[in-house]
Amino acid sequence: MESIGVLMACPMNTYLEQELEKRFNLHKFWTVPEKSAFLTTHKNSIRAVVGNAFAGADAELIEALPKLEIVASFSVGLDKIDLAKCKEKGIRVTNTPDVLTDDVADLAIGLMLAVLRRLCESDRYVRSGKWKKGDYKLTTKFSGKRVGIIGLGRIGLAIAKRAEAFSCPINYFARTEKPEIKYKYYPSVVELAANSDILVVACALTEETRHIINREVIDALGPKGVLINIGRGPHVDEPELVSALVEGRLGGAGLDVFEHEPEVPEELFGLENVVLLPHVGSGTIETRQAMADLVIGNLEAHFLNKPLLTPVV
Amino acid sequence: MFDSSFIKTYLKCAGSAEQTRSHFQMAAQTQTEPPMTSTNDDLPYVLILKKPPTFHYFGDHSFDSPKYHLLKAYESPLPLPQFLLAHAQSVQAVVSTRGAPVTADIIHLLPSLRLVVTTSQGLNHIDLSECRLRGIAVAGAGTIYSADCADSVVALLIDVFRKISAANRFVKQGLWSSQSQPQYPLGSKLGGKRVGIVGLGSIGTEVAKRLEAFGCIISYNSRKKNPFVSYTFYPHVVELAANCDVLIICCALTDETYHLIDKQVLTALGENGVIVNIARGPIIDEKELVRCLVQGEIGGAGLDVFEHEPHVPTELFGLDNVVMSPHNAVFTNETFEDRRKLVVGNLEAFFSNDPLLTPVSLDDQPHFSGELLASLSS
């Protein structure tokens, strides 16, 4: 298999690079100075692309690789892959579901607690020596707060299960109501926001869900409401979110993703009711290893003509 | 009040002239003070030793009730023992909030005392043996803090495992976009981790319930094994630590638990182990903990309490695997309001001869020495 060309779209995991180098002819796209020349040179040998949440396989790249057979994403989200184009050309697509569900859900709850209980600010208060002068102020209790989940897939359900352990009533919005689920369904995101203390984005990014968090939703969530985004940056109308937070029209936010990562609006840096993370939803040693093994497993299966482990297309 | 006939009678009954003089002096002193207990009604008096934190947040009338009068010792310039002698002899209840111990000495100065109401979860600031001896009832905090405490434990634990505070600092310093290959160091997965709870009381139980939902495996050490839970019981903390990835301190501070978490326990926990303490600072040998953290002999810590608050070992400030909070695990608006209602509720119930809302049983209390008590009062 060592002659099979695999193009890795961006740096994502050293272990994955090493393992792919053992099995294939790995090309690291980010080290290439002249990308279009490179593609012209190697277009007949590259049969697989490995992408992630930052870079995948758009129409342009797919068109430039006539021998492309499979796109394996080091992520569960598929928004960086032109799925329609892949379907059209018979290109297989795989992702890394399930193995990262727990970590992402853990982080969502961690963000809720950090924002409501001002944990990062409390830590800062201690480190600055201010505790010697007086107590930190009162914060907001998390247990019992109404949690509204947008998207009740694997990650949404895992968030719900955790929040239930804190006696949080669970509400949700999804493309269709799920009658077998005991949580309360709201037919629109605005209504969900109006009836939740904490709103968390846990759905896939598609054309329909782009800017699903807009001004109207933010207003409905209100000056005591908290937004948690562990989905994708473009789920949120970022300038609207920033002005709502700066003006105090939204109570707080915990954000792991942004519209133009790694750029983060600087107006948020000084806000004590906002916690910002550098897209670490699945960022644990254990989970990234499991994700890497899935990518390798899917590629191996494909080139050995065996059934794919986690196919999407 | 001090007319000549009284003085004559007093002189007849009193001992030496010197004794008499000193009695007069004391009486004269109290005469110049504005009377603090002069009312026309029969309402009982409730003594408040120090200004409660509740008053700072909700105002001086937070504990007011039509069923009793409040006597505020902290509003008097007199030293406490003198104040109690002069004004608190008919006091039937005392409200003890953080930093206001109810020692045997204080109890001896309150002959009418029948009830101590405390707002603290820990009871190590009250001389419970003395209360039992005198038949004084004690009303505690019940379980009002359990949810907030458990929430704080989980918050600290996820923060340490997933580097939330450290990563938040990283982003807010503008470091994410300034990196050429933007990838923050990986954290550790919480799911599947073995969590050992030291003290499976009401807080420990709430912690267990939450962490089970994250896929953690729960075991515990307590004074006694609980036959109603299915978690694995370890009779010794060292054994618990040796078999866990995370150690969570949820027990009371007593003579037995002082420095319970020592070098042996920390070594057993190991270099990937994480410790979380929301109970009391002195349960952990802090010097040893700091040494282990600085030298990488344990993996991380989430700490809400310290041995000498508000002083925190500065060696911890440079560590990204340590998350600290200023003893505010229960400092939420909601719980403070619940606490205010509980104090008033217990007092009103007591004076209506109704059962206390949150009575503390004095029979099965752990022992704590006077020495420990004295060190905590300072």
Residue A248 Cα, gap to closest chain B Cα (Å): 19
Contact call for residues B220 and B204 (beta carbons, < 8 A): yes
Residues composing chain A:
313
Q: Which of A261, A280, A285 sits opposite B167 (nearest CB)?
A: A280
Contact call for residues A255 and A230 (beta carbons, < 8 A): no
Minimum mean pLDDT among A173-182, B62-71, B121-130, B139-148: which range? B121-130
According to the model, what pLDDT value does residue B179 have? 65
Strand order in the sheet with A92-94: A25-28, A5-8, A46-51, A70-73, A92-94
Of residues A310, A286, A313, the one with CA closest to residue A300: A310
Q: Does B168 touch chain A (CB under 8 A)?
A: yes
Q: Strand, coil or helix: what is A289?
A: helix
According to the model, what pLDDT value does residue B37 have? 57
Count other C-beta atoms under 10 Å from residue B130's C-beta.
Answer: 17
Catalytic residue, chosen from A47, A232, A235, A302, is A232
Contact call for residues B216 and B189 (beta carbons, < 8 A): no
Which residues does chain B have within 8 Å of residue A165's beta carbon, measured at their own beta carbons?
209-210, 212-213
Phi, psi of B348 (to 5 degrees): -65, -40
Non-local CB neighbours of B326 within 8 Å, separated by 6+ positions: A122, A125, A126, A131, A135, A136, B304, B309, B310
Q: What mean pLDDT do residues B181-186 have?
A: 78
- Return the higher-pLDDT residue of B255 and A142: A142
Q: Is A279 a catalytic residue?
A: yes
Per residue in A126-171, pLDDT (tens digit) is 999 999 999 999 999 999 999 999 999 999 999 999 999 999 999 9
Q: Does B58 touch chain A (CB under 8 A)?
A: no
Contact call for residues B188 and B194 (beta carbons, < 8 A): no
Contact call for residues B352 and A160 (beta carbons, < 8 A): no
CB contact under 8 A, B190 and A165: no
Q: Which CATH superfamily is domain A5-97+286-303 in?
A: NAD(P)-binding Rossmann-like Domain (3.40.50.720)
Domain definitions of chain A by residue range: 5-97+286-303, 101-276
Q: Using alpha carbons only, what angle is made at residue A64 by residues A70 and A13, rounded to the nearest 5 degrees?
A: 50
Q: What mean pLDDT do residues B220-249 have?
A: 97
Report residue B375's pLDDT band, with 50, 70 and 90 as the boundaries: low
How many Å is the Cα radius of gyration of chain B? Answer: 25
B164-172 and A119-127 helices, crossing angle to 10°: 80
Residue A102 Cα, gap to closest chain B Cα (Å): 7
Q: What is the DSSP letter of A213?
A: B
Q: Is B194 a catalytic residue?
A: no
Contact call for residues A180 and A211 (beta carbons, < 8 A): no
Per residue in A95-120, pLDDT (tens digit) is 999 999 999 999 999 999 999 999 99
- pLDDT of residue B370 exceeding 90: no
Q: Which residue of B has its CA nearest to A31?
A: B181
Q: Which two tokens stand for residue B67?
A: 């069923």
User: What residue spans of chain A are helical by DSSP H?
Assistant: 14-23, 35-42, 59-64, 83-89, 101-116, 119-127, 154-164, 189-194, 215-221, 238-246, 285-303
Contact call for residues A165 and A172 (beta carbons, < 8 A): no
- pLDDT of residue B264 exceeding 60: yes
According to the model, what pLDDT value does residue B122 have? 76
CB contact under 8 A, A284 and B189: yes
According to the model, what pLDDT value does residue B14 have? 45
Non-local CB neighbours of B256 within 8 Å, separated by 6+ positions: B366, B367
Q: Which residue of A has its CA nearest to B329?
A: A117
How many Å is the Cα radius of gyration of chain A? Answer: 21
Contact call for residues A235 and A212 (beta carbons, < 8 A): yes
Q: Which two tokens stand for residue A307?
A: 């059934």
Bridge partners of residue B102, in order along the sequence: B126
- pLDDT of residue B348 exceeding 80: yes
Q: Which regions of chain A are under pLDDT 70? A: none
CB contact under 8 A, B151 and A135: no
Domain definitions of chain B by residue range: 4-144+333-351, 146-172+186-324
Contact call for residues B375 and B253 (beta carbons, < 8 A): no
- pLDDT of residue B373 exceeding 80: no
CB contact under 8 A, B164 and A120: yes
Report residue B180's pLDDT band, with 50, 70 and 90 as the boundaries: low
Q: Which CATH superfamily is domain A101-276 in?
A: NAD(P)-binding Rossmann-like Domain (3.40.50.720)
According to the model, what pLDDT value does residue B39 have? 61
- Taking the C-alpha atoms of residue B324 and residue B292, their distance in angstroms, rounded to an integer, is 16
- Taking the C-alpha atoms of residue A9 and residue A61, their distance in angstroms, rounded to an integer, is 10
Q: Which of B190, B213, B334 sits opposite A161 (nearest CB)?
A: B213
Catalytic residue, chosen from A27, A92, A279, A302, is A279
Which residues does chain A have within 8 Å of residue B210's beta carbon, measured at their own beta carbons?
162, 165-166
Report residue B35's pLDDT band, with 50, 70 and 90 as the boundaries: low
- pLDDT of residue B211 exceeding 60: yes
DSSP string, B76-130: SSS-HHHHHHHH-TT--EEEE-TT--B-HHHHHT-TT--EEEE--S--TTB-HHH
Q: Which two tokens stand for residue B206?
A: 């709430």
DSSP string, B260-326: -B-HHHHHHH-TT-EEEE-S-GGGB-HHHHHHHHHTTSS-EEEES--TBTTB--GGGTT-TTEEE--
Could you say which residues from 126 to 155 on chain B have a Cβ atom under 8 Å away from some Cβ of chain A? 147-148, 150-152, 154-155
Which residues does chain B have within 8 Å of residue A142's beta carbon, measured at their own beta carbons?
151, 155
- Preceding amide of B310 cis, omega within 30: yes
Residue with tokens 């190991």: B270
Q: Is B23 a catalytic residue?
A: no
Q: Does B205 touch chain A (CB under 8 A)?
A: no
Count other C-beta atoms under 10 Å from residue B70's C-beta.
Answer: 16
Q: How much is the mean pLDDT over chain B?
A: 88
Contact call for residues B184 and B163 (beta carbons, < 8 A): yes
| CATH architecture, domain B4-144+333-351 | 3-Layer(aba) Sandwich (3.40)
- Taking the C-alpha atoms of residue A175 and residue A187, their distance in angstroms, rounded to an integer, is 9
Q: What mean pLDDT do residues B337-345 have?
A: 96
For chain A, what is the largest distance between any 2 Cα atoms, rounded to a whole number of angstroms?
A: 69
| CATH architecture, domain B146-172+186-324 | 3-Layer(aba) Sandwich (3.40)
